[in-house]
Amino acid sequence: MGVVDTSRVVVGPVSSEMEGLFSTCAVKAGEVIFLEQYLVHESSVAPDDHIPQIVRLALRIHLENHFEHLLRLGMHPECWTLGVASEDAHWLQKLVETGKISADRMRDAYCLAAAYNVRCLTALHTGIGEISVVDRAVIAPFSCKANHSCEPNAKWWSSSTVEDVRERILGMVAIRDIPEGEEIAYSYAPDQVRDLPNELSMKFDKAESFLALESSSRKSILRTLYGFDCICTLCNRFK
């Protein structure tokens, strides 16, 4: 089981409008950078009449009283610039119509869920040759502060135990040597183009990796999926 340790990272300013995650010491390639417990999660499985995952995560933020805590941690609904997805809008309206949550709070919780969730995958060995995958959208204090880079220095830590799932453990591993004070960044997009939403993947060679695409293509994909223009060092190099 992974042991929670966040002593190697700190949240700090990247610019006057943006925060990031930074190393507090040198980290060697292959070493765990940090492990933490996530605060709120929602399964990718949709048992409740196929309510979309982000809507269910937003509702959990409200029902489990995470909303104010997330704000105190420096998370802001306005960071999500893409608005409410068309397939999610009527679900939000149905929840508001129950009278248990206001329209403003529902929308703000949705924007927090959309802006700060990360995907947590755990492959559990349940028997000889048998693997069960636990797939969750989660929100965690440090993980959600890590920014995107098309030239990443980190990747998600791989967990494979029931204890890690039960204890809500999430973290990152260095994929190259990271000096003290460097920003920790990973690729938000799926590794392979074929794993992008179909309307995006069909525009490219599905055999390619996302990071192998031209800068303009990567920026277009990130803008569509996450609503921001990539300003990482690699993209800036090819302006």
Contact 116, 146 (CB under 8 A): no
Identify whether residues 90 and 176 lie together within a single domain: no
- What pLDDT score was predicted for residue 182? 97
Q: How many domains does the chain have?
A: 3
Taking the C-alpha atoms of residue 15 and residue 23, their distance in angstroms, rounded to an integer, is 17
Q: What is the pLDDT of residues 58-98, one digit of tens each?
A: 999 999 999 999 999 999 999 999 999 999 999 999 999 99
Q: Residue 218: give the domain boundaries.
A: 193-237
pLDDT of residue 122: 80
* CA 85 distance to own-chain centroid: 17
145 and 31 belong to one structural domain: yes
Quick one: 158 and 177 in the same domain?
yes
- Shared-domain flag, residues 17 and 56: no
- The CATH number linked to 28 is 2.170.270.10
User: Quick one: 151 and 179 in the same domain?
Assistant: yes
Position 49 scores a pLDDT of 63
> Could you read off the pLDDT of 36-59 as tens digits, one per residue?
999 999 988 766 568 899 999 999
Q: What is the dihedral of CA 156, 235, 29, 122, to 10 degrees?
A: 10
Residue 100 CB contacts under 8 Å (≥ 6 apart), including other chains: none
Kindly report the pTM of this predicted structure. Answer: 0.91
What would the pLDDT profile of 145-180 be if each residue is shown by its tens digit? 999 999 999 999 987 788 888 889 999 999 999 999
Measured distance CA(162)–CA(134) in Å, rounded: 10
- Structure token digits, residue 79: 């960071």
191-200: average pLDDT: 89
For residues 16 and 66, membership in a common domain is answered with no
- Do 129 and 85 lie in a common domain? yes
Q: Are residues 90 and 151 in the same domain?
A: no
Based on the fold, state whether residues 46 and 128 are members of the same structural domain. Answer: yes
Question: What is the pLDDT, as a whole number, of residue 239?
Answer: 61
Q: What's the pLDDT score for residue 126?
A: 64
Give the burial class of 1: count Cβ atoms within 10 A of its Cβ; 0-12 exposed, 13-18 middle, 19 or more buried. Answer: exposed
Written as six digits, the tokens of 58 are 């937003």
Regarding whether 103 and 63 lie in a shared domain, the answer is yes
Say yes or no: 197 and 208 in one domain: yes
Query: Do residue 68 and residue 126 come from a single domain?
Result: yes
Q: What is the 3-state secondary structure (H, E, C) of 79-110?
A: HCCCCCCHHHHHHHHHHHCCCCCCHHHHHHHH
